[in-house]
Amino acid sequence: MKTILIAIMIGFSIFASAKVTDATKNVEISVTSKGFEPNAIDVAPGVPVVLQVTRKTDDTCAQQIQIPSKNIKVDLPLNKTVKIKLGKLVKGEIRFGCGMNMMDSGKIYVK
Ligand SMILES: [Cu+2]
């Protein structure tokens, strides 16, 4: 009887820890002369998302990235990866683009 209880408790703790450590989804984005690559990103809802953005060119106006719906606007230094934590997302589409809002560059599809 005791063994069964212990087995159940161990089972529960494994289940609980698996639930706590939901894997972060890292998304690498490059800024090249073509703009943001990739410019369409699929992620699942409820999973913490981190963008890792690296600007690799001076040829575009995208020296900043902005995500209007998240109130995010950050500088992109050349050849340095910038991490942007978006947290867990709900279903929908999130637009991102350059700092000047001219280049309607990409979307994150949460589905
Ligand atoms: Cu621009």
Å from CA of 64 to ligand 1 middle: 8
17 sits in which H/E element: helix 2-20
Predicted confidence band of residue 8 (pLDDT cuts 50, 70, 90): very low
Å from CA of 33 to ligand 1 middle: 12
Quote the CA–CA distance of 106 and 9 in Å, as a whole number: 46
Residues in CB range of 64: below 8 A, 6 or more apart: 73, 74, 75, 76, 98, 99, 100
Q: Which residues surround ligand 1, an ion (CB under 5 A)?
A: 61, 98, 100, 102-103
Query: Would you list the domain boundaries of the chain?
Result: 23-110
Å from CA of 101 to ligand 1 middle: 6
Residue-wise pLDDT for 37-52, tens only, equals 999 999 999 999 999 9
CB 88 within 8 A of CB 46: yes
Residue-wise pLDDT for 14-40, tens only, equals 455 555 557 999 999 999 998 999 999
- The arrangement of secondary structure in 23-110, i.e. its CATH architecture, is Sandwich (2.60)
